């Protein structure tokens, strides 16, 4: 085998390994081990995209909380939300889009320990319409009240085509 053919073969193998690693990274759950996380999604252009924001294991009791959900408004169009099983009984809960690309979710319960330490489950389910076929992510920031020191993950959307 000539030196040029060996070089081409090595580059092809390296490119294949890098591609497989990149593809594998998108199949892993994002933020594994984070206190508050977002699921990953895949779909086609104009599909409804559903992101679930969930707690893996509450590090302490939660009576009130708030957080911002950051997304790319040129790729996703926010349509609505539903309470998750962890906030069904909250006295107040809402998600409001204050500006394109940022949704503020928050709530409170009059009883202490409305979400006890160690609980797992969905806080909120957000619905988006995919308006551009590009990959993107959904992140959490600006946590306040009983979630102010929680760690967060990020959800990814992979567009499969038009």
- The average pLDDT across 149-157 equals 94
pLDDT range class, residue 94, cuts 50, 70, 90: very high
**pLDDT confidence of residue 11:** 56
**pLDDT score of 144:** 96
pLDDT score at 9: 58
Q: Which of 43, 71, 72, 53 is nearest to 125 (CA)?
A: 53
Instruction: Specify the residue for token string 């030196």.
Output: 3
CA distance linking residue 121 with residue 143, whole number of Å: 18
Phi, psi of 101 (to 5 degrees): 90, 0
The answer to whether residue 133 scores a pLDDT higher than 80 is yes
pTM above 0.95, yes or no: no
Q: Provide the token pair at 132.
A: 């551009």
pLDDT for residue 145 is more than 90: yes
Helices (H), the chain: 3-27
Q: What's the token pair of residue 147? A: 């979630």
52-74 pLDDT tens trace: 999 999 999 999 999 999 999 99
pLDDT band at 13 (very low <50, low <70, confident <90, very high): very low
Structure tokens at 2: 């000539």
Per-residue pLDDT, averaged over 6-26, amounts to 47
Average pLDDT of the chain?
A: 84
- In this predicted structure, what is the pLDDT of residue 46? 76
Residue of 40, 49, 41, 55 lying closest to 85 (CA atoms): 55
- Strand 136-145 and strand 154-159: the pairing is antiparallel
């Amino acid at each position: 085998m000539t030196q040029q053919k060996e070089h081409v073969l090595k580059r092809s193998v390296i490119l294949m390994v890098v591609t497989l690693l990149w593809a594998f990274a998108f199949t892993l759950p994002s933020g594994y081990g984070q206190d508050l996380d977002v699921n990953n999604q895949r779909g086609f252009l104009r599909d409804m995209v559903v992101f679930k924001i969930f707690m893996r294991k509450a590090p302490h009791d939660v009576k009130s909380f708030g957080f911002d959900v950051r997304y790319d408004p040129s790729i996703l169009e926010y349509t609505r939300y539903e309470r998750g099983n962890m906030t069904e009984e909250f006295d107040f809960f809402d998600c409001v889009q204050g500006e394109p690309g940022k949704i503020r979710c928050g709530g409170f319960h009059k009883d202490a320990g409305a979400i006890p330490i160690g609980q797992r489950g969905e806080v909120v389910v957000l619905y988006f319409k995919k308006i551009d076929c590009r990959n993107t992510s959904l992140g959490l920031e600006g946590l306040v009240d009983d979630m102010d020191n929680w760690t967060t993950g990020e959800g990814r959307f992979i567009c499969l085509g038009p």
